[in-house]
């Protein structure tokens, strides 16, 4: 019993110091009970307000996370960084600026997709930036590789094949970063003009989808105004939050250049391009998020 207590004390300390061993070795040294407690404590500390306000949504989230290893990984970015944050990274220790990068924060294999940029051009890129953070760029690379590892494992790839895939991922990442360093352009995007294969196919499939059809699934017309359809998960916001959102939106409007702010480029009628038509709150019982 005394040995277990000593081990528990040692492991607990290892999460509060700059551990010399890697996270995987610290995790492997823990008993199942210790690891379970650490996971639960991490989730409670991070999500306690959301769990209290919307327990049903988080119950659904945790059930979905429990379905597969990859689902758990997707929904536990906070745990990933609690494990990773104290690892000594030799490259970051030698290059301090590399530890102060605006990183994605949750770069896993399913956080890639298509969207229209500010110029209306369809792009393929990373998405879902709600975990963005100032930190070591290596965290993004490690999280992406770990997710690819889990996906390949779930699909029955051999260890050798997984190793080859991860090696190609890292090598191509470094190659592209080297290209960026040699270019003078600040902007780069994957579009229909410079892609091929599966990415171009995805962009083309997205291009022909009907935005009107998608809009009609989410909204309806009432008194010539379009509003969101209310449901079990799409609800009105309270009056206090409504006023806060309106005020925040007005402040945002002030930051938009005039050439984008108004419909009429001559600014004669001053009719704003940006208007709030409706406000709702979305209760999202998903894997990566839950609550409002």
Last residue of a domain, one of 206, 228, 244: 206
Please tell me the pTM assigned to this model: 0.74
Note whether residue 146 is domain-resident.
yes
Domain that holds residue 111: 89-206
Record the tokens describing residue 45, joined without a space.
């500390």
Q: Judge if 94 and 192 occupy the same domain.
A: yes
Q: Judge if 227 and 151 occupy the same domain.
A: no
- Tell me the pLDDT tens digit for each residue of 233-254: 899 999 999 999 999 999 999 9
Q: Judge if 223 and 267 occupy the same domain.
A: yes
Q: Judge if 175 and 221 occupy the same domain.
A: no
Note whether residue 199 is domain-resident.
yes
224-230-236 Cα angle (round to 5): 95
Note whether residue 54 is domain-resident.
no
- pLDDT tens across the length of the chain (292 residues): 333 333 333 334 334 444 456 788 888 888 999 999 999 999 999 999 988 988 888 888 999 999 999 999 999 999 999 988 878 788 888 898 998 999 999 999 999 999 888 788 999 999 888 889 898 999 999 999 999 999 999 999 999 999 999 999 999 999 999 998 888 777 889 999 999 999 999 999 988 886 788 888 899 999 999 999 999 889 999 999 999 999 999 999 999 888 778 766 555 566 777 889 999 998 766 676 655 5
User: In 3D, which of 132, 91, 94 has the Cα closest to residue 111?
Assistant: 132
Note whether residue 75 is domain-resident.
no
Record the tokens describing residue 90, joined without a space.
């030799």
User: CA-to-CA distance for 109 and 133, rounded, in angstroms?
Assistant: 18
Last residue of a domain, one of 179, 206, 233: 206
Q: Judge if 96 and 195 occupy the same domain.
A: yes
Note whether residue 270 is domain-resident.
yes
Q: Judge if 141 and 247 occupy the same domain.
A: no
Q: Where are the beta strands (DSSP E) in 96-198?
A: 101-103, 112-116, 122-126, 133-135
In terms of Cβ atoms closer than 10 Å to its own Cβ (0-12, 13-18, 19+), residue 58 is buried
Q: Judge if 186 and 145 occupy the same domain.
A: yes
Note whether residue 21 is domain-resident.
no
Number of separate domains in the chain = 2
């Amino acid at each position: 019993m005394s040995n277990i207590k000593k081990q528990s004390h040692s492991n607990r300390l290892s999460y509060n110091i700059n551990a010399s061993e890697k996270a995987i070795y610290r995790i492997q040294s823990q008993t199942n009970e210790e690891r379970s407690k650490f996971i639960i404590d991490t989730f409670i500390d991070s999500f306690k307000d959301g769990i209290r306000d919307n327990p049903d949504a988080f119950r659904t989230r945790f059930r979905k996370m429990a379905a597969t290893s990859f689902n758990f990984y997707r929904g536990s970015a906070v745990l990933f960084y609690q494990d990773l944050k104290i690892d000594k990274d030799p490259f970051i220790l030698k290059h301090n600026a590399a530890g102060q990068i605006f990183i994605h924060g949750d770069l896993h294999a399913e956080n890639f997709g298509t969207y229209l940029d500010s110029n209306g051009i369809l792009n393929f890129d990373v998405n879902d930036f709600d975990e963005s953070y100032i930190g070591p760029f290596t965290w993004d690379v490690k999280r992406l590789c770990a997710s690819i590892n889990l996906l390949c494992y779930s699909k029955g790839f051999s260890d050798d094949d997984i190793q080859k895939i991860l090696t190609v991922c890292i090598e191509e990442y470094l190659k592209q970063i080297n290209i960026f360093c040699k270019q003078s352009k600040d902007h780069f995007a994957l579009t229909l003009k410079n892609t091929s294969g599966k990415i171009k196919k995805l962009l083309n499939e997205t291009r022909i989808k009907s935005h009107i059809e998608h809009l009609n699934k989410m909204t309806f017309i009432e008194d010539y105004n379009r509003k969101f359809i209310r449901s079990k998960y799409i609800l009105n916001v309270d009056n206090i939050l409504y006023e806060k959102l309106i005020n925040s939106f007005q402040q945002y409007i002030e930051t938009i250049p005039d050439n984008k702010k108004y419909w009429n480029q001559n600014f004669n009628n001053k009719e704003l391009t940006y208007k709030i038509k409706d406000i709702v709150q979305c209760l999202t019982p998903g894997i990566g998020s839950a609550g409002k």
